[in-house]
Each structure stands twice: as structure tokens, then as C-alpha cells.
Amino acid sequence: MQKQKKSTKGLTIEKENFSEWYSQVIEKAEITDIRNNLKGFIVIRPWGAMILENMYALYEKEMKARGHKPSFFPTLIPEKNFKKEASHVEGFSPNVFWLEKVKGEDKLALRPTSETSMYEMYSIWIRSWRDLPLKMYQRANVFRLETKATRPLIRAREFMWIEGHDCFETEKQAHKQVQEDIKITEKVLHQQFCVPSLPFKRPNWDHFPGSVYSIGSDVMMPDGKLLQQPSTHFLGQNFSKSFNIKFKNKEGKEEYVWQTCYGPAPSRMLASVIALHGDDKGLVLPFSIAPVQIVIIPIYGKDDKNKMIKESTKIKDTLEAEGIGVEIDDREKRPGEKYYEWELKGVPFRLEVGEKELKAKKLTLFTRDTGTKEKIPLASLSKIKKLGETYDKRLLTKANNFIKGKIVNCTTKAEVSKTLKEGKIARVNFCSIEKEGTKCADIVEREMIAEVRGTLANKEEKPSGKCPFCKEKAKVIAYIGKSY
Ligand SMILES: [Zn+2]
């Protein structure tokens, strides 16, 4: 039974009913409008778009700081390109949207990912070791024909993406890039969006088509299910051989480049931000990505409206000079109604500006995550930026605490089953994440409706027992969870 809240104005469902809460919050906070009736494709409304723009900006800033250059490639990929790398085409083909063929022209695919579009050009651009490393990314929407049930931002047929594609002289440099990609995820998704994730080296039966190995970072959602966030792939020379991406090394000999690719999806990361930080009142946005970091509500009667708006504008100017995102809400609505709307939209701070406050030279500051009110002297408004940093630290700590205790060591099948039912991750000694482990993975999938997510990619862990499923000596420590 769903627990219904009495108020019908805002959210009518509490967060403990996560699935319904999520559907409601993305509508009421004006992230999306599900009345766009096209399975797997969503409309992002201005509030959602402004958050996403901030997420893109922070992510791309970090990509650039680590040597990646931006680019844009076509949305359409000719079939002959798409089919060049055998395992890539095999893996992706069932999920490709094909365009109806135009007479006399190549058959075209809507890109599900852009290796086969970009690498054709890489083979032209790369000639010598002097052209390497080549590190590029593009901001791109990609399209995948999902047959499973879709959910706004979580699983879609079109999603918003950043894809990085790098080429190196040596294998070692490419492995190092994979580790750097994990660090980018940690720095942006965790430190800036306040969303913790676990990087797992995926089992061999579950890696990116065309790659040698894949690392996917999983975020635990409030319902205990894992959502894959940025993944990074070591492509080896699979694509460089298919696309003939060669360079002359320092000895003048021709070699194939070593490649990696990396794919953070801002739209899906937004789903985790909403899910992890939101509460019964709506969204709680990190200060780092909130389109409005502080909203000013002028409180006035019939006579002093202009004066209050004028004073509010002065305050806005002061805050903007500090680089803070501010909005004055001077709509003809009751203050209470405005408070309520901005809380639903997750704005971190609210400043109430009335006659009383101005006289005392102290304004009322409301903080969204704690729900507390305090007085802040007019003279110390510049402090908001610092308060914003503290605010994000609180969100980060809260999200980190949510993960604590969610990983349980299990030695028997029954323990794994129980752990998964409790919405946690089972950590087990596991026979293998190579092909020979598929039998045990099948048991996990069929009997527990869960998945072997892989082995930790940023830490070496030594197994010390038997696989709970086949009783063989374990080769790895693997993590099992339910996923979206
Ligand atoms: Zn086994």
C-alpha cells in the first residue's frame, strides 16, 4: 500500500515509495512532461535543461582539463562504416534505429555510439607518433532501440551523452587512460554532483561490443537497484585494425594505435542526482549545478512593492558579483506559494526580503536540505558561496552514508539471495568473470533476477574461498546486485 500524504498540492507520495515518487517529482519539479507520448523519448523542460547545461559544463571542463578537445560528428552513420568492426556490429545491431533507405544512397543508422563515425576520420588524421595522443570528445545525443521498459532519464531510447575517444602509441598509455576516466567520474559525479559510485570491471560476457574490457561505474539508487553511470572501455587495437588507424613510430615503423572510449550520460546522471538527494518535498539540487542557487522573495504589501523589488535587485547585484546564480521571484503570488514551488524545484537557498528584515539589516535565509531558517546580516551576503560549499559537502556526506553498509560479504547462495532482497550488494568469492563463470552468472540472473556486476576496478582484491554457486576455487571477488 502506498502511503499518501494529505497535501495534494505538491508531492503526494513519500520518497520511501521510490518508483512512484520519482515519476511524480520529475513532473512536478518541471524536469520533464511525460505527455510527450513517444516511448523512450522525453521532453526536457527549461528547469531540467538548465540543470543539464550546468552538468555538461562541469563535465566538459574536466574533460578539457585532462587534454580532451571538443568536436561534433554527424548523427548518421553509413552502414558500411558501422559494420567494420565485427563484434561491435554484432553487439549493437539489435539496438540500432535504421533510416529508411534513400534510393541510390548508403543505408544509414542513427548513431547508438560514435566509434564507427569518428574512427573513419581518425584514420585520416593520424599519421605519425607526433599526432598522438589524440584525445577528443563530443557532446552527442545517441539512440538505442531499447526493448525493455523505459523510464525517463534512467533508461531511454535517446539519451544525452558525452563521448570521449582517445588514441595512444602504447598499450600502457591506453590502460592509464582508463584509470584516468575513472578519476574523472570520481571528480565530477562524486565530488561535484555528490553522487558516489563503484567502478566495476565488467564480466567478460558483459563488456562493450568491440572492447577488450569495460569498466562501468554503478550508482545505488534508493530502491537498492544499481544504475550504470559513466563507463570506460579499453578497445585495444580492435577498432584501429578495422579502421586502419596507423601511425609511424619513432623508428619510422607503422603501428596500429591503442584506443579507449568513455561515456558519461548527463541525462542519466541527472536521474541519480534527483534520486539520491531529493526528499518528500521534492528535488534537492547540489549548489554546484543548481540553475538558481539562491532565490530572493520580496515580501511586500500594496504600497511598498516597488521599494522591495528595488532593494531585492540591489541584493541580487551583490550576490551576482560573487558569481552566484540568483533569481528574484516577483510574481503575483503569495510568498508561501513561492516558497513551496522553489523547494519543490530544489533551489539550495531562499532569501526573504521584507520591511522588517531591511530595517534590522538582517535577512531570513532558508536552507533547502536542512529545512532551517537563520538570519543573515546584509553585510555578509558574500558568505553564501561558502555556505553553498558546506551545503554540497552535507549532500555528499549524506549520499556516502547511504552507501555505507550496503555491501555485504556473502559465502552462501542463501546469503546472496537474502542480501539482494534487502536491496544491498553481495560481495562474494566468485569462480571467474571470464567465460567459465557464465554458468554461475546464469544462476544469479535466473534465480535471483540480479547480475554479476564485476570486480572492483580501482582496487586489487584477493579471493580466499570458494564460489558459492559452483563450489570451485574462486579466482576473483565479484559484486552482485540488482540493476535497472
Ligand atoms: Zn562459480
CA of 103 to the centre of ligand 1 (A): 52
CA of 246 to the centre of ligand 1 (A): 41
CA of 63 to the centre of ligand 1 (A): 39
pLDDT in tens, 401-415: 999 999 999 999 999
Cα(476)–Cα(428) distance, rounded to whole angstroms? 8
User: Whole-model pTM?
Assistant: 0.95
CA of 432 to the centre of ligand 1 (A): 7
Cα(184)–Cα(386) distance, rounded to whole angstroms? 24
CA of 60 to the centre of ligand 1 (A): 41
Give the DSSP letter string of 302-343: SSSHHHHHHHHHHHHHHHHHTT--EEE---SS-HHHHHHHHH
CA of 476 to the centre of ligand 1 (A): 10
CA of 434 to the centre of ligand 1 (A): 11
CA of 470 to the centre of ligand 1 (A): 4
**One-letter amino acid of 114:** S
CA of 441 to the centre of ligand 1 (A): 8
Q: What is the pLDDT of residue 9?
A: 66
Cα(97)–Cα(131) distance, rounded to whole angstroms? 34
**Separation of first and last alpha carbons in the chain:** 23
Task: Give the lowest-confidence range in 34-43, 53-62, 176-185.
Answer: 34-43
Parallel/antiparallel/unpaired status of strands 69-71 and 134-143: parallel
pLDDT in tens, 192-241: 999 999 999 999 999 999 999 999 999 999 999 999 999 999 999 999 99
Q: What is the mean pLDDT of the chain?
A: 95
Q: Can you list the domains of the chain with their CATH numbers?
A: 18-277 (3.30.930.10), 294-388 (3.40.50.800), 407-481 (3.30.110.30)
CA of 203 to the centre of ligand 1 (A): 13
